[in-house]
């Protein structure tokens, strides 16, 4: 089986790659596109470290085939900041010390951006359930949730 | 010099953005699996499909013949090294055992034990090659449970294992590797004077550190035998030491580079992949990358022990504990070395006891060798002793905090494990708990409140740090401590404080084994204490040198120069009327005043102050389903001095969350074939965001005079109290004493039904 | 060296042709949240992956004659956002919303949840209780199959070679009807159901239950209906006596196993508890 050619958009830029059918989007992002910000913590959709936004929805890139990226619009952690200007979610994660080792952080930031794009004023409970698929073993989630709520407030202009 | 007066501090105690923060929120930070080298091969391991078996033969010929396969290694490719105690990681380890854990020799001792490895050009070819390796096994009976493993007639894992610590030493091999005992006074006599006695038997299951980043490394060995290792670990000097020993290399021929580490909690204080990748790279002459799957992580790394804790407490009617005894049996996994010794040493260390005895057994069974996990041993043993304290309070009709206050260790208390405690802050944590609004808040139906305390030694040890003043007056610091949770920030802050400059002027990096002096691994809650001490001393030397340089510029004696707010100033009017010289002013003239201004300091830090914590937990239990919800959680801890309070709080919150997971849902589940049945995040149930309440971290500061800023280790003690705090809260909500962790819904519902 | 191939047909006929003519194992890809896990672990080794998402109509929700047509490959997050469906079938919607994390919701589908044929699939008891029908297409044309007839055992379905599910039909709900789904998991999220219960019921103007349908998940090799439970609450206002009978009837149909997720004893007891609780929620929603 020869490789399949895929044309897609990653972080606003047109992108092309060759993939074998079984390769996940995460494999493609990390090994072919050298976008290693998306992490593999489990490879089974249970940890959320590989979260990316595909056509407006946050998904685990380990549960998407590379070939399914054809014609899609994909945002990874590398595309969240606008050049040197951090996204408010990134800034609030730093201000609230919402990361320790930082391994789950890219996935959490991507998932949080997807939440706030959809629901600018989540309750703490909504934020906790939305992010339940993003495991963090370091923080106990306290500072993460505070960062999410504060980012939401800032983005609302509250 | 010390900086213990909080009012004088400008940087320490504030909450700046961590220096490596932007990299970690933008995806730039390079973790173990993010590393790549040209020409890199993929290395993969073949793992045992049996819990216990003799390896009769391994035929690798078919795998080697597969196109794209560059090397296959087995234990035959590693030196068979003799038994030798290693003091490299955290907790006991024997080089011989480690070698045999990395690659099974003669026998496989647990399901998932590595038996062979391949290096191939692609992942698919490596997988295909593994399937072509023919291993013939002679299957042996296995034993999983700790008490089963101790019984006469149990399958013996090691024919050369004779119990240490008993007289006379047995002549028959067994699975009991060691017996340890710590005692004060005459316990048996003291129990006879007790008005009230409580006894209990408590158990915990093995739990995994469950860092989100699987182990990963890239190793490249040149034709000249020079090796470079990129890996995610809690100590690259540890990685270097283990690899050198396991492959018979000289330390100077290995350069270990620290990748960013995606969590460790003790689980990355030993090696699994690096020596294998090294052997594969040696054979192929190409870089080899190895990355574990999540399943590999659960099957073959960590976890910490499960244990049995038998506790007996005797007290007077007024609550004075007159005698205490505990017997601990800990699973070590396939090789000796459970944390039973620290388990023994910590479990009564919160109390001032004159008559106390703790006995521990280190027991091997057909499970992965345990690794350190945050305060190794203490959560397990303390679950037993702090549950028993709760029972004692109930029996005495006493408030549980009052009972603890009555017996609390204080300065001058001699601990059962030897030392006399000094500068400790246990009583303040109890007083703060009692005064906290949480402790008196009303509870609803099916709700309950539990408290528990915990102790951890904290350690010091060998660390190195260097401080370089750059030509423009900015400052670079290098340490040998992998930054596992924000230590770059605390290092930069301490340095900035000493130099009197803003923290943002200081850029910290973690140096590799060739660029900074030896540094023991990140563990034991030692980095802020020991590496912080090295950095502080290096910064002080730089500060002294800056004064010397200013003196040269001004042509006055160095004693006539003072350092104030980041500037050299004349010590007084007599010294001369010079304008202050900033760090930048001095730096730019460094070439003319003696050359680069740098200092590297290595210490073997002593005097780490022990950590004490008291936690309050509220739960609500659904009696029909056995589901426990943690409603509110307050964790109070003596932190010595919080260098960066946010990251101290983070340690407290994270430790508490791990302890809550341990208490409620985490466990290794084995099936009848001796295989781990839940090797993934789906069924190994770490807490998720929606499981947790906010965790209020209350920091008590009783400074440690042995550290320049008064710091004590903070990372480990927060995982010690939660197991009992949760169980005691469940007891309060339901009247049921859940003595066996985890308090999973089926277990709690069954306890309701049995009542 | 992989022999696996991938294809994304753009019509039902094309898909049926590929599936019927496939040499070796063909696997349908809709959301992929089970398939990719199985591919990676080696539990399934297909020769061809057939991505159905480009087939017209297989994604999206349509309201037809007061009932609903849900495309088989519609992500569950889309289902959760459909106001009309959420009002008419809150139980089906909440069940589909429980499959996996937010990330999984963006991909997972009702067809995948059903055809993975796990006894613990969250959406299936709710769909069975709601009398959902699967529209199966294949070489011999199209047929409507009640959802409870699709799964025949763990990992096995009644679909023949070349067949796949195109869409689900939910009938127009009777007045004063509603449904509910509850599951039990050891955490609050990210677990597989230890027990799942779907309840659909109709009440009259006086609040008396006139129709009910109850289905359990994770307590037997397939999802099971609880006809005695339905009979126990029909004619009642869901008083304590009716609830007790429902509890007993739910327990009586259980034939569970003990595994890493729960014991036989626990599953049976929880089936009774959740049946009561789900019925209570559905009853309130129906206006009882």
3-state SS assignment for residue C37:
helix
Confidence of residue A1 (pLDDT cuts 50, 70, 90): low
Task: Say if residue A71 is in the same domain as residue A103.
Answer: no
Residue B200: how many CB atoms within 10 A of its CB? 18
CB contact under 8 A, B681 and C190: yes
Interface residue C260 vs chain A (CB under 8 A): no
Residue B463 CA neighbour count, 13 Å, CB half: 31
Strand partners, A7: A16
Which residues between 71 and 100 in chain C have a beta carbon less than 8 angstroms from any beta carbon of chain B? Answer: none
CB contact under 8 A, B686 and A143: no
Integer-rounded Cα radius of gyration of chain A = 16
Distance from CA of C262 to the nearest CA of B (A): 6
- Which one of A94, A101, A142 has the shortest CB-CB distance to B25? A94
Beta pairing class for C26-29 and C48-51 = parallel
Domain-ending residue, one of A44, A79, A114: A79
CB contact under 8 A, C260 and B665: no
Interface residue A78 vs chain B (CB under 8 A): yes
Task: Say if residue A69 is in the same domain as residue A36.
Answer: yes
Task: Report the candidate in B71, B10, B537 with the shortest Cα–Cα distance to residue B290.
Answer: B71
Residues 6 or more apart whose Cβ sits within 8 Å of residue C107: A59, A60, A63, A64, C31, C32, C33, C75
Task: Say if residue A38 is in the same domain as residue A102.
Answer: no
For residue C2, the model assigns a pLDDT of 60
Interface residue C104 vs chain B (CB under 8 A): no
Q: Any alpha helices (H) in B270-352, and if so which ranges?
A: 274-284, 294-300, 340-346
For residue C1, the model assigns a pLDDT of 45
- Which one of A106, A137, A143 has the shortest CB-CB distance to B211? A137
Give the alpha-carbon dihedral of C254, C259, C260, C261, to 10 degrees.
Answer: -10
Q: Please say whether the beta carbons of C268 and C254 come within 8 A.
A: yes
- Please state, in angstroms and rounded to a whole number, the distance separating the CA atoms of residues A71 and A50: 20
- Please state, in angstroms and rounded to a whole number, the distance separating the CA atoms of residues B457 and B523: 12
Task: Say if residue A93 is in the same domain as residue A146.
Answer: yes
Domain-ending residue, one of A24, A50, A79: A79
User: What's the average model confidence in pLDDT over A67-76?
Assistant: 98
- Please state, in angstroms and rounded to a whole number, the distance separating the CA atoms of residues B268 and B521: 10
- Please state, in angstroms and rounded to a whole number, the distance separating the CA atoms of residues B217 and B755: 52
Query: Which helix (DSSP H) or strand (DSSP E) does residue B65 occupy?
Result: helix B61-65
Task: Report the candidate in C128, C117, C87 with the shortest Cα–Cα distance to residue C213.
Answer: C128
pLDDT tens digits for range C223-258? 999 999 999 999 999 999 999 999 999 999 999 999
CB contact under 8 A, B690 and A77: no
Best residue of A95, A102, A151 to probe chain B, by most B CBs closer than 10 Å: A102
For residue B637, the model assigns a pLDDT of 98
Task: Say if residue A27 is in the same domain as residue A74.
Answer: yes
Beta pairing class for C5-7 and C48-51 = parallel
- Please state, in angstroms and rounded to a whole number, the distance separating the CA atoms of residues B263 and B654: 11
- Please state, in angstroms and rounded to a whole number, the distance separating the CA atoms of residues B557 and C175: 98
pLDDT tens digits for range B381-414? 999 999 999 999 999 999 999 999 999 999 999 9
Q: Report how far apart, in Å, the C-alpha atoms of B470 and of each of B244, B464, B476, B593 are.
A: 35, 19, 7, 14
Which residues between 217 and 236 in chain C have a beta carbon less than 8 angstroms from any beta carbon of chain A? Answer: none
Residue B465: how many CB atoms within 10 A of its CB? 32
**Which chain A residues have a beta carbon less than 8 Å from that of B691?**
132
**Which chain B residues have a beta carbon less than 8 Å from that of C261?**
683
CB contact under 8 A, B685 and C189: no
CA A58 to chain centroid, in Å, comes to 7
Task: Say if residue A54 is in the same domain as residue A96.
Answer: no
- Please state, in angstroms and rounded to a whole number, the distance separating the CA atoms of residues B566 and A21: 60
Best residue of A47, A60, A114 to probe chain C, by most C CBs closer than 10 Å: A60
- Please state, in angstroms and rounded to a whole number, the distance separating the CA atoms of residues B256 and B458: 26
The single-letter DSSP state of residue B531 is I
Task: Say if residue A74 is in the same domain as residue A110.
Answer: no
User: What's the average model confidence in pLDDT over B71-99?
Assistant: 91
Please provide the distance, in angstroms rounded to a whole number, between the alpha carbons at the two ends of chain A: 55
Q: Is the pLDDT of residue A95 over 90?
A: yes
pLDDT tens digits for range B460-492? 999 999 999 999 999 999 999 999 989 999 999
Beta pairing class for A51-54 and A13-19 = unpaired
- Please state, in angstroms and rounded to a whole number, the distance separating the CA atoms of residues B389 and B550: 61
For residue B229, the model assigns a pLDDT of 98
Number of independent structural domains in chain A: 2
Interface residue A1 vs chain C (CB under 8 A): yes
3-state SS assignment for residue B283:
helix
CB contact under 8 A, C3 and A44: no
Task: Report the candidate in C115, C106, C112 with the shortest Cα–Cα distance to residue C79.
Answer: C106
- List of E strands, A3-158: 4-10, 13-19, 51-54, 57-60, 73-75
The two three-digit tokens of residue B178, written as one number: 């060691």
Distance from CA of B601 to the nearest CA of A (A): 26
Task: Report the candidate in C33, B487, B30 with the shortest Cα–Cα distance to residue A39.
Answer: B30
Interface residue C152 vs chain A (CB under 8 A): no
- Please state, in angstroms and rounded to a whole number, the distance separating the CA atoms of residues A52 and A36: 12
Interface residue A51 vs chain C (CB under 8 A): yes
Q: Is the pLDDT of residue B204 over 90?
A: yes
Interior angle at CA A52, CA A47 and CA A55, nearest 5: 135
Match 């505070």 to its residue by tokens. Answer: A146
| Residue-range domains of chain B with CATH | 6-29+460-605 (3.30.365.10)
User: What's the average model confidence in pLDDT over B426-454?
Assistant: 98
Beta strands across the sheet bearing B41-47: B69-73, B114-120, B41-47, B288-291, B216-221, B227-231, B254-258
For residue C115, the model assigns a pLDDT of 97
Angle between helices B274-284 and B95-102 in degrees, nearest 10: 70
User: What's the average model confidence in pLDDT over B198-205?
Assistant: 98
- Please state, in angstroms and rounded to a whole number, the distance separating the CA atoms of residues B248 and B194: 58
Task: Say if residue A73 is in the same domain as residue A17.
Answer: yes
Q: Is the pLDDT of residue B87 over 90?
A: no
pLDDT tens digits for range B698-737? 999 999 999 999 999 999 999 999 999 999 999 999 999 9
CATH number at residue A60: 3.10.20.30
Task: Say if residue A13 is in the same domain as residue A72.
Answer: yes
Task: Say if residue A100 is in the same domain as residue A61.
Answer: no
The two three-digit tokens of residue B634, written as one number: 């307050």
- Please state, in angstroms and rounded to a whole number, the distance separating the CA atoms of residues B529 and B459: 8
Task: Report the candidate in B263, B254, B267 with the shortest Cα–Cα distance to residue B212.
Answer: B263
For residue A99, the model assigns a pLDDT of 98
Measured between CA atoms, the residue of chain C closest to residue A42 is C37
**Which chain A residues have a beta carbon less than 8 Å from that of B648?**
none
Task: Report the candidate in B723, B514, B507 with the shortest Cα–Cα distance to residue B628.
Answer: B723
- Please state, in angstroms and rounded to a whole number, the distance separating the CA atoms of residues C92 and C90: 6
Low-confidence ranges of chain C (pLDDT < 50): 1
For residue B576, the model assigns a pLDDT of 86
Interface residue C10 vs chain A (CB under 8 A): no
Burial of B207 (0-12, 13-18, 19+ CB in 10 A): buried
Q: Report how far apart, in Å, the C-alpha atoms of B465 and of each of B461, B476, B537 are.
A: 13, 11, 9
Q: Is the pLDDT of residue B201 over 60?
A: yes
State which residues form the domain around A119. 88-156
- Which one of B677, B691, B749 has the shortest CB-CB distance to C187? B691
Domain-ending residue, one of A79, A103, A130: A79
Which residues between 655 and 674 in chain B have a beta carbon less than 8 angstroms from any beta carbon of chain A? Answer: 655-658
Interface residue C39 vs chain B (CB under 8 A): no
Percent residues over pLDDT 90 in chain B: 97
CB contact under 8 A, A43 and C40: yes
Task: Say if residue A125 is in the same domain as residue A152.
Answer: yes
3-state SS assignment for residue B556:
coil
- Please state, in angstroms and rounded to a whole number, the distance separating the CA atoms of residues B716 and B316: 32
Distance from CA of C2 to the nearest CA of B (A): 8
Query: Which helix (DSSP H) or strand (DSSP E) does residue B630 occupy?
Result: strand B627-638
Query: Which helix (DSSP H) or strand (DSSP E) does residue B132 occupy?
Result: helix B123-132
| Residue-range domains of chain C with CATH | 1-173 (3.30.465.10), 177-285 (3.30.390.50)
pLDDT tens digits for range A37-47? 999 999 999 99
- Please state, in angstroms and rounded to a whole number, the distance separating the CA atoms of residues B284 and B120: 10
Q: Is the pLDDT of residue B354 over 70?
A: yes
Interface residue C25 vs chain A (CB under 8 A): no
**Which chain B residues have a beta carbon less than 8 Å from that of A38?**
27
- Please state, in angstroms and rounded to a whole number, the distance separating the CA atoms of residues B700 and B613: 9
ipTM exceeding cut-off 0.95 for this assembly: yes
Give the alpha-carbon dihedral of B366, B367, B372, B374, to 10 degrees.
Answer: -130
3-state SS assignment for residue B752:
helix
CB contact under 8 A, C186 and B665: yes
Output the 3-class SS for B557-600: CHHHEEEECCEEEECCHHHCCCCCEEHHHHHHCHHHHCCCEEEE
- Which one of C29, C102, C107 has the shortest CB-CB distance to A130? C102
Interface residue B292 vs chain A (CB under 8 A): no
The chain-wide mean pLDDT, for chain B, equals: 97
Task: Report the candidate in C193, C176, C150, C188 with the shortest Cα–Cα distance to residue C237.
Answer: C176
- Please state, in angstroms and rounded to a whole number, the distance separating the CA atoms of residues B410 and C248: 58
Q: Report how far apart, in Å, the C-alpha atoms of C206 and of each of C179, C209, C287 are.
A: 18, 9, 10
CATH number at residue A141: 1.10.150.120
Q: Report how far apart, in Å, the C-alpha atoms of B36 and of each of A34, B71, B220 are.
A: 10, 19, 11
Task: Say if residue A55 is in the same domain as residue A97.
Answer: no
User: What's the average model confidence in pLDDT over B335-362?
Assistant: 97
Q: Any alpha helices (H) in B480-582, and if so which ranges?
A: 487-499, 532-554
Angle between helices A88-95 and A105-118 in degrees, nearest 10: 130
């Amino acid at each position: 089986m020869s490789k399949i050619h895929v044309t897609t958009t990653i972080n606003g830029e047109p992108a092309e790659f060759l993939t074998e059918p079984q390769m996940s989007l995460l494999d493609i992002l990390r090994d072919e596109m050298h976008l290693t910000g998306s992490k593999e913590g489990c490879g089974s959709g249970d940890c959320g470290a590989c979260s990316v936004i595909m056509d407006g929805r946050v998904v685990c890139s380990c549960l998407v085939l590379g070939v399914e990226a054809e014609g899609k619009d994909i945002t990874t952690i590398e595309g969240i900041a606008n050049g040197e200007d951090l996204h408010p979610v990134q800034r609030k994660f730093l201000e609230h010390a919402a990361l320790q080792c930082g391994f789950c952080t890219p996935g959490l930031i991507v998932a949080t951006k997807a939440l706030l794009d959809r629901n600018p004023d989540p309750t703490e409970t909504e934020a906790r359930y939305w992010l339940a698929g993003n495991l963090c073993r370091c923080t106990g989630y306290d500072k993460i949730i505070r960062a999410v709520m504060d980012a939401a407030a800032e983005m609302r202009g509250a | 010099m010390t900086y213990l007066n909080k009012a004088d501090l400008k940087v320490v105690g504030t909450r700046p953005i961590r220096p490596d923060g932007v990299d970690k929120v933008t995806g730039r930070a390079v973790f173990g699996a993010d590393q790549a080298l040209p020409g890199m091969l993929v290395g993969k391991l073949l793992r045992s499909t049996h819990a216990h078996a003799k390896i009769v033969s391994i035929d690798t010929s078919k795998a080697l013949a597969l196109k794209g396969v560059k090397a296959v290694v087995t234990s035959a490719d590693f030196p068979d090294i003799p038994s030798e105690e290693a003091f490299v990681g955290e907790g006991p380890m024997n080089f011989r055992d480690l070698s045999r854990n990395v690659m099974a020799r003669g026998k496989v001792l647990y399901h998932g034990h590595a038996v062979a490895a391949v290096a191939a050009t692609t992942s698919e070819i490596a997988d295909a090659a593994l399937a072509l390796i023919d291993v013939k096994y002679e299957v042996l009976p296995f034993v999983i449970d700790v008490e089963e493993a101790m019984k006469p007639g149990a399958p013996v894992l090691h024919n050369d294992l004779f119990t240490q610590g008993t007289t006379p030493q047995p002549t028959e091999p067994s699975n009991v590797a060691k017996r340890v005992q710590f005692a004060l006074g005459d316990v048996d006599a003291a129990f006879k004077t007790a008005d009230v006695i409580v006894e209990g038997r408590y158990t915990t299951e093995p739990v995994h550190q469950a860092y989100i980043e699987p182990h990963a490394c890239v190793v490249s060995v040149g034709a000249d035998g020079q090796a470079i290792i990129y890996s995610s670990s809690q100590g690259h000097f540890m990685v270097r030491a283990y690899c050198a020993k396991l492959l018979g290399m000289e330390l100077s021929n290995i350069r270990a580079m620290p990748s960013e580490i995606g969590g460790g909690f003790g689980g990355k204080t030993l090696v699994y992949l690096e020596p294998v990748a090294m052997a594969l790279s040696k054979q192929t002459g190409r870089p080899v990358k190895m990355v574990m799957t999540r399943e590999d992580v659960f099957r073959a790394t960590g976890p910490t022990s499960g244990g049995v804790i038998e506790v007996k407490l005797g007290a007077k009617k007024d609550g004075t504990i007159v005698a205490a005894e505990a017997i601990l049996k800990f699973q070590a996994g396939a090789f000796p070395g459970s944390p039973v010794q620290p388990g023994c040493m910590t479990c009564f260390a919160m109390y001032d006891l004159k008559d106390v005895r703790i006995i521990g057994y280190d027991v091997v069974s057909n499970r992965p060798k345990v690794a350190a996990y945050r305060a190794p041993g203490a959560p397990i043993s303390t679950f037993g002793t702090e549950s028993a304290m709760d029972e004692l309070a109930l029996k005495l009709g006493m408030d549980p905090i009052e009972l603890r206050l009555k017996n609390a260790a204080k300065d001058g208390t001699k601990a059962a494990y030897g030392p006399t405690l000094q500068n400790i802050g246990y009583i303040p944590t109890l007083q703060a708990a009692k005064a906290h609004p949480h402790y008196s808040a009303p509870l609803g139906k099916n709700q309950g409140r539990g408290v528990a305390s915990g102790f951890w030694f904290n350690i010091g040890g060998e660390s190195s740090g260097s401080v370089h003043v750059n030509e423009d007056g900015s400052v670079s610091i290098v340490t040998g401590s992998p930054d596992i949770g924000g230590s770059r920030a605390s290092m930069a802050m301490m340095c900035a404080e000493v130099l009197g400059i803003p923290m943002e002027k200081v850029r910290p990096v973690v140096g590799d084994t060739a660029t900074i002096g030896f540094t023991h691994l990140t563990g034991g809650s030692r980095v802020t204490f020991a590496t912080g001490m090295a950095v502080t001393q290096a910064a002080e030397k730089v500060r002294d040198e800056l004064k010397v340089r200013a003196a040269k510029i001004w042509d006055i004696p160095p004693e006539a120069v003072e350092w104030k707010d980041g500037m050299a100033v004349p010590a007084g009017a007599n010294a001369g009327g010079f304008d202050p010289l900033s760090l930048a002013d001095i730096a730019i003239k460094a070439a003319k005043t003696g050359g680069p201004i740098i200092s590297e300091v290595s210490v073997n830090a002593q005097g780490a102050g022990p950590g004490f914590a008291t936690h309050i937990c509220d739960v609500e239990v659904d009696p029909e389903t056995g589901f426990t919800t943690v409603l509110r959680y307050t964790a109070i801890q003596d932190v010595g001095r919080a260098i960066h309070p946010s990251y101290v709080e983070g340690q407290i919150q994270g430790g508490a969350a791990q302890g809550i997971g341990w208490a409620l849902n985490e466990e290794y589940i084995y099936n009848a074939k001796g295989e781990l049945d839940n090797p993934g995040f789906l069924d190994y149930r770490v807490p998720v965001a929606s499981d947790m309440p906010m965790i209020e971290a209350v920091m008590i500061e009783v400074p440690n005079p042995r550290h320049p800023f008064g710091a004590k280790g903070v990372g480990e003690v927060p995982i010690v109290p939660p197991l009992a705090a949760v169980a005691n809260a469940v007891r309060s909500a339901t009247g049921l004493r859940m003595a066996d962790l985890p308090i999973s819904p089926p277990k709690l519902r069954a306890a309701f039904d049995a009542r | 060296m992989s022999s696996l191939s991938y294809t994304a047909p753009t019509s039902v006929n094309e898909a049926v042709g590929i599936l019927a003519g496939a040499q070796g194992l063909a696997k349908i890809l809709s959301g992929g949240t089970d398939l990719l896990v199985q591919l990676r672990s080696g539990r399934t080794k297909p020769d061809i992956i057939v991505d159905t998402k480009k087939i017209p109509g297989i994604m999206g929700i349509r309201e037809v004659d007061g009932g609903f047509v849900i495309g088989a490959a519609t992500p569950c997050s889309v289902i959760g956002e459909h106001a009309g469906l959420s009002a008419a079938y809150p139980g089906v919607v909440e069940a589909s919303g429980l499959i996996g994390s937010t990330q999984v919701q963006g991909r997972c589908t009702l067809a995948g949840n059903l055809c993975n044929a796990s006894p613990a699939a969250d959406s299936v008891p709710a769909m069975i209780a709601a009398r959902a029908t699967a529209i199966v297409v294949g070489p011999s044309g199209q047929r409507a199959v009640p959802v409870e007839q699709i799964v025949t055992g763990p990992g096995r379905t009644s679909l023949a070679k070349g067949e796949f599910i195109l869409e689900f039909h939910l009938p127009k709900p009777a007045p004063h009807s509603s449904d509910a789904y509850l599951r039990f998991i050891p955490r609050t999220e990210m677990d597989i159901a230890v027990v799942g219960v779907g309840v659909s019921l109709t009440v009259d103007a006086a609040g008396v239950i006139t129709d009910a349908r109850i289905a359990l998940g994770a307590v037997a090799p397939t999802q099971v209906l609880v006809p005695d439970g339905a009979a126990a609450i029909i004619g009642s206002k869901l008083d304590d006596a009716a609830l007790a009978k429902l509890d007993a009837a739910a327990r009586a149909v259980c034939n569970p196993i003990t595994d890493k997720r729960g014991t036989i004893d626990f599953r049976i007891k929880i089936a009774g508890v959740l049946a009561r609780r789900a019925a209570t929620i559905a009853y309130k929603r129906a206006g009882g």
